[in-house]
Amino acid sequence: MIEEYLSDEEYEDYFPKLDNLRKKIAYALPVEQNMSILDLATGYGYFAIEIAKLEKNLKI
């Protein structure tokens, strides 16, 4: 298995280069109103931000 790591500078621009993969993953999740989502040790929280954009009443 080959692992590659990104620097902090590279990470910010990485997902837009993947055709907004982060947003596509967030939209594929079964998110419902008033749902609570645990974001535990997931790095910078970029996925949580995308998920939070889906529904105003989410608790992350």
State pLDDT tens for residues 20-54.
888 898 899 998 888 898 888 888 888 888 888 88
Q: From the CB of residue 51, how many other CB atoms can be counted at a distance below 10 Å? A: 22
User: What is the pLDDT, as a whole number, of residue 28?
Assistant: 94
With 90 as the cut, is the pLDDT of residue 3 above it? no
User: What is the pLDDT, as a whole number, of residue 41?
Assistant: 85
Q: What is the CA radius of gyration of the chain?
A: 13
Any bridge partners for residue 36, and if so which? Answer: 59
| Distance in angstroms between the alpha carbons of the first and the last residue of the chain | 33
Instruction: State the amino acid at position 28 in one-letter form.
Output: A
At 15, list the tokens. Answer: 């997902």
CA-CA distance, 45 to 39, in Å (whole number)? 8
